[in-house]
Amino acid sequence: MYADTGTDAETVRRILQDTGDTWAVVGLSNNRSRTAYGVAAVLQRFGKRIVPVHPKAERVHGEEGYASLADIPFPVDVVDVFVNSELAGAVADEAVAVGAKAVWFQLGVIDDAAYERTRAAGLDMVMDHCPAIEIPLLDR
């Protein structure tokens, strides 16, 4: 078990409803077999603007892609992280550096040290959860 990860219902609700609608999805490409592709589609259906972030900088789901968070020329509200836990901490640090309001580590992505750094910087954070699972539950 990992430290208090901010995965309480209030933090999940706040990020999904109140933090903003521009979500950078790190690891999102046009590979339809990857989980990020489907999750990004769900986020769009629920009114979020997705911003693909992947070294290929591909256009995905009709949205312009960028090679890194630093390359995005407009503010990002939430950084949704689809990379291995070993790489996720660096992405969380980049999210803080670009002024994101929240970081969301997907199912299976856990880095307690990154969580502590991100929370200490004043951002909301969720680890080991999926917004595509959580967002449909908000209206229940």
CATH number of the structural domain spanning residue 43: 3.40.50.720
For the cut 90, the answer to whether the pLDDT of residue 26 exceeds it is yes
In a domain, 3, yes or no: no
Mean pLDDT of 105-113: 95
- Does residue 1 sit within a domain? no
- Residue 128: exposed, middle, or buried by beta-carbon count in 10 A (0-12, 13-18, 19+)? middle
What pLDDT was estimated at residue 9? 87
pTM, entire model: 0.93
Q: For residue 1, what pLDDT is reported?
A: 34
Structural domains in the chain (count): 1
- The Cα–Cα gap between 103 and 114 comes to 10
